[in-house]
């Protein structure tokens, strides 16, 4: 094969066209479940390395390969806003980074800089696994431009300080998706309530939408029921994350067992 063959980032395309995007998180670390999620038609999968027992090694690579095979965009939720962690996630083959606990304009710049190559950022070059993903045909003249165009920058704001700095945060160029981490924000307020039950968190999402939508930044949140999702879609939410593979599997198994008990005595 002559020349570099770079894959299209389907999630990025949908972001640009304003389409609704659906994804899940993998807490299980199961490549099989990632494949199933991709073939079911979801747009992206978040590989959870902050809270789940998934490490930045061959285990993560197998999850990324499964996502590639099933045509779903792999992102990695890194445990801290550290360039070395973000670089590793990208070198393993993720098509973007999902960073937690962004609280300021400087934090947001730090994420963008870690994801993008110069002149948009400071990501270093190196023979990561993406070489294979791109058919072993890396062209150093064209790849940085491709990556800066197709990679995804997504992060969470999870504290009152971050909410207070929303206007400055959304002014940073290069951001694709922002979400409010309602659980940690609720904890930071000293009033831990379920998602969508804390009035401060709800107002924070509404404020984020008002700031992001005019700037072309997508807003993401977690949903588990269609009524709530439909309500927030009408308000402008574009990226819908339908909890995790383990939560959905658990719910399915409980429903199945209840049906078994009701029908097979």
Show which residues are catalytic. 51
Please state whether beta strands 21-26 and 239-244 pair in parallel, antiparallel, or not at all (unpaired): parallel
What CA–CA distance (Å, rounded) separates 117 from 130?
Answer: 14
Q: At what angle do helices 83-91 and 105-115 cross, to 10 degrees?
A: 30
Euclidean distance between CA atoms 108 and 48, whole angstroms: 20
At CB < 8 A and 24+ separation, what contacts does 127-135 make? 128/90, 128/91, 128/92, 128/93, 129/61, 129/64, 129/91, 129/92, 129/93, 130/90, 130/91, 130/93, 132/93, 133/7, 133/68, 133/93, 134/4, 134/5, 134/6, 134/7, 135/1, 135/4, 135/5
| CA torsion through residues 221, 172, 215, 114, sign | negative
Residue 244 backbone phi and psi in degrees, to 5 = -115, 165
Cis amide bond preceding 119, omega within 30: yes
Cα→Cα distances 240→21, 88, 167, Å: 6, 26, 23
What's the half-sphere exposure (Cβ side, CA atoms, 13 Å) at 218? 25
């Amino acid at each position: 094969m002559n020349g570099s063959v770079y894959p299209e980032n389907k999630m990025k395309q949908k972001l640009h066209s304003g389409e609704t995007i659906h994804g899940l998180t993998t807490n299980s670390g199961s490549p099989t479940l990632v494949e199933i999620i991709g073939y079911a038609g979801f747009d992206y999968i978040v590989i959870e390395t902050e809270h789940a027992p998934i490490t930045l090694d061959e285990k993560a690579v197998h999850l990324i390969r499964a996502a590639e095979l099933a045509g779903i965009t792999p992102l990695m939720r890194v445990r801290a806003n550290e360039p070395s962690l973000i670089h590793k996630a990208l070198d393993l083959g993720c098509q973007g980074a999902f960073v937690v606990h962004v609280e300021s304009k400087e934090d947001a710049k730090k994420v963008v800089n870690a994801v993008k190559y110069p002149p948009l950022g400071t990501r270093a070059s190196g023979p990561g696994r993406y070489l294979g993903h791109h058919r072993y045909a890396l062209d150093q003249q064209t790849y940085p431009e491709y990556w800066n165009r197709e990679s995804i920058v997504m992060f969470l704001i999870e504290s009152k300080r971050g909410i207070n700095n929303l206007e400055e945060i959304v002014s940073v160029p290069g951001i694709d998706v922002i979400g409010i981490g309602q659980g940690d924000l609720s904890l930071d307020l000293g009033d831990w309530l379920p998602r969508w039950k804390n009035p401060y968190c709800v107002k924070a999402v509404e404020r984020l939408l008002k700031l992001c939508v005019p700037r072309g930044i997508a807003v993401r949140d977690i949903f588990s029921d269609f009524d709530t999702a439909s309500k927030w879609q009408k308000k402008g939410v574009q990226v819908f994350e339908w909890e995790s593979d383990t939560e959905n599997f658990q719910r399915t198994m409980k429903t199945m067992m209840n049906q078994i008990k009701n029908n097979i005595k």
